[in-house]
C-alpha cells in the first residue's frame, strides 16, 4: 500500500506517497497509516461493511483468492483488517468474506478516523498489488472521486482568478482531474478515458468480463461501438477461442507426459441437451473450427445449464494442465 496523503497536503496530487515506507507501523495497540493513527480493536463481523463504491460497482472477491485463504487455515486471519471508525473495510475483503462463510463471530481490525472519500483513496492504494483489484475495477472506484476532484480544481481555478463565477472547468483543469484519477488508480490516463467510455457503452456482460479479468480494457474498448448483441457475440467468440487455446496447451502437455486424454460421454451430453426447453436451447451458440480431430468443446456456462449432468461430468472432465 502507498502511504495515505494528509488533508493539509493540498498542493500534492491525491494518491502520491509522502514517504518511501508504506506499511502500517505498530506501536502498542496503535498503528500508523500515512499520518493517520490506528487503533487495534476486535470487531463483530455483522458490524463490518464494504465501502459503498465497492458495492456500487458489484465488486467481489475472486474464488481463487478465497481458496488460497482456506488452505492457510487460521493463519489467514493472523493479520488484522483495516477499517474506518464507521466500520468501512479498507483492506481485508477476502478475510472478511471467508470469516462470514465460516461463521466466525469477530475479527481483529485496525480502526482509522477517515472520511468516506479518504477511505476510498486508501482502499485503492491498498489494492494496487498483483493480488488486489485489477485496473478496470480500480478505475471504476477512482471515478467516484471525480466530482470531488473537479470541485477542488474549480476552487483552485477561481482562487487563481481564472473563470471566476464560471461553473465549467478549463481544458487544463479537466486534464489535471483525469491525471489525478489515473494517479489514484495507479493506471494510465488513456485507460481512464477508455473506462469512462465503457461505462456508457459496454454491455453489462462485457463489464462483468472486465471485472473478472477475462478481457483487457483495450479489447473491450475496441468493441464499444458495436450493438449490445454484437458485443456479447464477440465476447462469446473470444471465450471460445481462449478455451480452445487452453485445450491445445493442455493436450500438448499431456502428450509430453505420454498420457491419454479422457473422453467425455457425448451421447449422454446430447440426451441432456435434448431435455432443455426450446428457449434455453435457442440460447446455446454453435461455433465451428478448423481441425481434423473429432472433438466437442463445452463451455462452463453450458454445463451450468445442465445441473443433472454437471456432477457426473465433473468427474471425467479433462484437467487443464
Give me 25's grid cell: 507501523
Phi, psi of 143 (to 5 degrees): -65, -20
Q: What is the pLDDT of residues 106-125, one digit of tens each?
A: 999 999 999 999 999 999 99
User: pLDDT tier at 216 (50, 70, 90 boundaries)?
Assistant: very high
Q: Tell me the CA distances in angstroms from 240 to 2, 28, 235, 292, one per residue in order.
A: 39, 54, 9, 18
Query: How much is the pTM?
Result: 0.67
Helices (H) and strands (E) in the chain, counts: 15, 6
Q: How far is CA 293 from the centre of its chain?
A: 37
**DSSP summary character for residue 226:** S
Q: Which domains does the chain have, with CATH numbers?
A: 1-130 (3.90.1530.10), 134-225 (no CATH), 228-314 (no CATH)
Per-residue pLDDT reduced to its tens digit, 228-242:
999 999 999 998 888
Count of Cβ atoms closer than 10 Å to residue 278 Cβ: 6
Query: Is residue 217 within 8 Å of residue 191, measured between CB atoms?
Result: yes
**Residues 88 and 99: beta-carbon distance below 8 Å:** no
Q: What is the CA radius of gyration of the chain?
A: 24
- 161 pLDDT band, cuts 50/70/90, is low
Whether the Cβ atoms of residue 116 and residue 51 lie closer than 8 Å to each other: yes
Look at strands 81-84 and 36-44 and give their pairing. Answer: unpaired
Pairing of strands 106-112, 81-84: parallel
Query: With 0-12 CB in 10 A as exposed, 13-18 as middle and 19+ as buried, what is 34?
Result: buried
| Helix 171-185 with 116-126: angle, nearest 10 deg | 60
Q: Which tens digit of pLDDT belongs to each residue from 88-110?
A: 999 999 999 999 999 999 999 99
Q: Render 131-169 in DSSP notation, one character per residue.
A: TS--HHHHHHHHHTTHHHHHHHHHHHHHHTTSSTT--SP
Amino acid at each position: 500500500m502507498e502511504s495515505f496523503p494528509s488533508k493539509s497536503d493540498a498542493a500534492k496530487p491525491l494518491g502520491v506517497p509522502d514517504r518511501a515506507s508504506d506499511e502500517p507501523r505498530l506501536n502498542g495497540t496503535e498503528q500508523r497509516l500515512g499520518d493517520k493513527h490506528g487503533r487495534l480493536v476486535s470487531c463483530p463481523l455483522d458490524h463490518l461493511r464494504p465501502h459503498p463504491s465497492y458495492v456500487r460497482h458489484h465488486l467481489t472477491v475472486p474464488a481463487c483468492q478465497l481458496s488460497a485463504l482456506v488452505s492457510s487455515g487460521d493463519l489467514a486471519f493472523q493479520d488484522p483488517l483495516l477499517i474506518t471508525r464507521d466500520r468501512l473495510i479498507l483492506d481485508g475483503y477476502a478475510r472478511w468474506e471467508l470469516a462470514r462463510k465460516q461463521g466466525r463471530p469477530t475479527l481483529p481490525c485496525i480502526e482509522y478516523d477517515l472520511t468516506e472519500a479518504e477511505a476510498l483513496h486508501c482502499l485503492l492504494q491498498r489494492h494496487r498489488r498483483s493480488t488486489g483489484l485489477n485496473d478496470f475495477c480500480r478505475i471504476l472506484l477512482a471515478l467516484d472521486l471525480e466530482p470531488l476532484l473537479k470541485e477542488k480544481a474549480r476552487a483552485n481555478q477561481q482562487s487563481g482568478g481564472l473563470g471566476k463565477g464560471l461553473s465549467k472547468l478549463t481544458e487544463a483543469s479537466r486534464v489535471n482531474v483525469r491525471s489525478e484519477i489515473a494517479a489514484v488508480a495507479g493506471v494510465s490516463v488513456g485507460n481512464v478515458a477508455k473506462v469512462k467510455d465503457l461505462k456508457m457503452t459496454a454491455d453489462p456482460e462485457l463489464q462483468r468480463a472486465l471485472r473478472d479479468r477475462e478481457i483487457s480494457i483495450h479489447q473491450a474498448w475496441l468493441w464499444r461501438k458495436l450493438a449490445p448483441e454484437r458485443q456479447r457475440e464477440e465476447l462469446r467468440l473470444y471465450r471460445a477461442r481462449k478455451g480452445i487455446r487452453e485445450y491445445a496447451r493442455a493436450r500438448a502437455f499431456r502428450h509430453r507426459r505420454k498420457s491419454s486424454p479422457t473422453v467425455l460421454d457425448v451421447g449422454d451430453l446430447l440426451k441432456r441437451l435434448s431435455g432443455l426447453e426450446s428457449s434455453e436451447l435457442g440460447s446455446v451458440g454453435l461455433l465451428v473450427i478448423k481441425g481434423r480431430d473429432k472433438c466437442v468443446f463445452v463451455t462452463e456456462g453450458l454445463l451450468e445449464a445442465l445441473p443433472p449432468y454437471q456432477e457426473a461430468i465433473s468427474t471425467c472432465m479433462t484437467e487443464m494442465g
